[in-house]
């Protein structure tokens, strides 16, 4: 079990000019193995199918376990397709944590790193974790390993960039997706980021296109707290629970648009989550990080993995997963009559003929 008390915080003061001091916080774990155990897996795996990480909740929001392959219907562009792969909720997960270390975050509080133990404690023992940081480009720090303490140790090696620099969030995520060739395990990308990006709109369009063709689930956790909703006049409340992602009725009021905008960043994070079947989180204060990390881990522990053979027409195919649990005595009733809420990726980009 990993505890917050195990973490030691090292504060470095950097003096700029005559009177300005900036503080950067790094987290270190005594005795941590920076390289992890010798038998670490690389950041790549292979797959030939369209994989769906599927979560099923009842009308009360509780995860539904014990489902079997026959309880699922997968609709590809509205046409039912047979599952060629199925794994129950106890299948292991690979979780890649990507931390922003650009100049945009050097003044942000350290709680998002100190609370990382909550994510690791809540993962299953055979789940594997890896760590990447990004500034103007991504940098791999720790390859996939089941040694959760290695991730906390690796967090202690993170250095934050100072000064002016481009914010290349879109390109960094895109590059990481290229590194990760999907496999048959559960795959999740946890983004600790402001979501700010100074690149041209075409880079965002390219990322969305790429994300639609991948089978990794993205969980963005927005950094910046109250700065994201600050308007200079007054704050506006949202209609969702604190720290959770926006949906219908939960969009924040527009903020001034520019090359860098938290409003634009918020929308980008929501889009990445929705497209992949994940969830975006917007913690308002330091105390929100622990429950958010625990919820992400719980979500991964309750995912089913299904796979279908892809079409070969080079087009984007919408996907919909339905659940109709059999009562063992008669045919399944229509899924629309059952009180299940199913979360999965929106679709996939089919290979060419």
What separation in angstroms does the CA of 51 have from each of 87, 116, 291, 299? Answer: 11, 28, 28, 17
Higher pLDDT, 59 or 8: 59
Same domain, 121 and 152: yes
Same domain, 150 and 266: yes
Write down the residue that tokens 């990726």 correspond to: 345
Higher pLDDT, 59 or 163: 59
Is 128 part of any domain?
A: yes
Is 32 part of any domain?
A: no
Q: Report the range out of 45-49, 149-153, 301-305 with the highest average pLDDT.
A: 301-305
Same domain, 58 and 170: no
pLDDT at 213 over 60: yes
Higher pLDDT, 336 or 321: 321
What separation in angstroms does the CA of 248 have from each of 37, 103, 158, 273, 344? Answer: 45, 33, 37, 14, 18
pLDDT at 32 over 80: no
Q: Which of 47, 138, 34, 53 is nearest to 95 (CA)?
A: 53
Same domain, 263 and 310: no
Is 122 part of any domain?
A: yes
Number of structural domains found in the chain: 2
Q: Which domain holds residue 291?
A: 91-301
pLDDT at 48 over 70: no
CA pair distance 154, 36, nearest whole angstrom: 9
Lowest mean pLDDT among 47-56, 91-100, 135-144, 308-317: 47-56
pLDDT at 96 over 90: yes
Same domain, 177 and 296: yes
Same domain, 335 and 261: no
pLDDT at 151 over 60: yes
CATH number for the domain that contains residue 289: 3.40.50.410
Is 338 part of any domain?
A: yes
Same domain, 75 and 116: no
Is 219 part of any domain?
A: yes
Higher pLDDT, 321 or 111: 321
CA pair distance 87, 47, nearest whole angstrom: 15
Same domain, 210 and 323: no
Q: How sure is the predictor about 182, in pLDDT bands with cuts at 50, 70 and 90?
A: low
Q: What is the mean pLDDT of the chain?
A: 75
For the segment 251-302, what is each residue's pLDDT rounded down to a tens digit?
333 343 445 788 899 999 999 999 999 999 999 888 899 999 999 999 998 9
Is 21 part of any domain?
A: no
Same domain, 123 and 254: yes
Q: What is the pLDDT of residue 181?
A: 65
Q: What is the pLDDT of residue 107?
A: 66
Burial of 263 (0-12, 13-18, 19+ CB in 10 A): middle
Q: How sure is the predictor about 56, in pLDDT bands with cuts at 50, 70 and 90?
A: very high
Percent of the chain with pLDDT over 90: 41
Same domain, 66 and 214: no
Q: How sure is the predictor about 30, in pLDDT bands with cuts at 50, 70 and 90?
A: very low
Is 12 part of any domain?
A: no
Q: Report the range out of 106-110, 227-231, 322-326 with the highest average pLDDT.
A: 322-326
Same domain, 336 and 247: no
Same domain, 103 and 237: yes
Is 321 part of any domain?
A: yes
Write down the residue that tokens 């053979």 correspond to: 309
302, 87 Cβ separation under 8 angstroms: no
């Amino acid at each position: 079990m990993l505890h917050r008390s195990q973490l030691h915080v090292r504060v470095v003061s950097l003096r700029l000019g005559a009177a300005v001091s900036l503080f950067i916080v790094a987290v270190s774990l005594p005795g941590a193995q920076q390289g992890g155990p010798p038998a670490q897996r690389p950041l790549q795996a292979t797959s030939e199918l369209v994989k769906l990480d599927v979560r099923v909740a009842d009308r009360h929001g509780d995860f539904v376990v014990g489902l079997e392959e026959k309880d699922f219907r997968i609709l590809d562009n509205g046409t039912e397709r047979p599952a060629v792969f199925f794994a129950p909720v106890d299948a292991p997960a690979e979780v890649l944590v990507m931390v922003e270390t650009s100049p945009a975050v050097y003044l942000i509080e350290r709680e998002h790193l100190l609370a990382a133990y909550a994510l690791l404690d809540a993962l299953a023992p055979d789940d594997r974790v890896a760590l990447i940081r990004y500034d103007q480009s991504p940098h791999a720090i720790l390859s996939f390993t089941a040694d959760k303490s290695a991730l906390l140790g690796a967090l202690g090696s993170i250095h934050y960039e100072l000064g002016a620099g481009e914010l290349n969030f879109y390109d960094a995520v895109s590059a990481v997706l290229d590194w990760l060739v999907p496999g048959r395990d559960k795959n999740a990308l946890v983004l600790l980021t402001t979501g700010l990006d100074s690149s041209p709109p075409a880079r965002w369009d390219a990322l969305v296109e790429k994300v639609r063709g991948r089978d990794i689930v993205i969980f963005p956790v927005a950094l910046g707290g109250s700065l994201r909703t600050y308007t200079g006049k007054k704050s506006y409340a949202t209609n969702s629970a604190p720290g959770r992602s926006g949906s219908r009725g939960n969009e924040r009021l527009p903020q001034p648009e520019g090359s860098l905008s938290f409003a634009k960043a918020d929308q980008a994070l929501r889009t990445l989550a929705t497209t992949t079947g994940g969830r975006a989180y917007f913690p308002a204060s330091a105390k929100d990080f622990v429950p958010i990390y625990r919820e992400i881990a719980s979500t991964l522990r309750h995912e089913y993995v299904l796979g279908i053979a892809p079409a070969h027409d080079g087009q984007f195919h919408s996907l919909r997963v339905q659940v109709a649990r059999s009562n063992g005595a008669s045919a399944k009733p229509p899924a629309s009559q059952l009180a299940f809420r199913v979360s999965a990726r929106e679709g996939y980009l089919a290979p060419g003929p």
